[in-house]
Amino acid sequence: GDSVTQMEGPVTLSEEAFLTINCTYTATGYPSLFWYVQYPGEGLQLLLKATKADDKGSNKGFEATYRKETTSFHLEKGSVQVSDSAVYFCALVIAGANSKLTFGKGITLSVRP
């Protein structure tokens, strides 16, 4: 079946540090890939997405590139801020009527001033 694997957490960084959160997937079809973020006390929000190989999704300084050859969608940010502290989820969808999301475990990022 389809699955998403995220690196183990939590991750603690100093402000302005470089961030990489790894995500790899296995899928029976050709997935679209997503990063969702959950800020404290809030719901899951779409951070960025990519729908085909070599696409780069970007938002709020975060980027992720859809790498079909390595089945990966790693999240990066060049300079994190305290306000980036949240839980980050990698997910995939196989297009279709139901289009349910398959999530990774999530990783907690804490950024200290």
Partner 1 sequence: EPEVTQTPSHQVTQMGQEVILRCVPISNHLYFYWYRQILGQKVEFLVSFYNNEISEKSEIFDDQFSVERPDGSNFTLKIRSTKLEDSAMYFCASKEGANTEAFFGQGTRLTVV
Task: Note the residues at the interface with partner 1 (CB under 8 A).
Answer: 4, 36, 41-46, 49, 89, 91, 95-106
Tokens 């939590």 map to which residue?
A: 10
Contact 55, 64 (CB under 8 A): no
Give min distance, CB of 41 to partner 1, in A. 7
Q: What is the C-alpha separation between 107 and 35, in angstroms, rounded?
A: 11
Which lies closer to partner 1 via its Cβ, residue 18 or residue 39? Answer: 39
What distance in Å separates the CA atoms of residue 58 and residue 113, rounded to the nearest whole number?
Answer: 24
Closest to partner 1 by CB, 82 or 95: 95
Min dist CB 78 to partner 1, Å, is 25
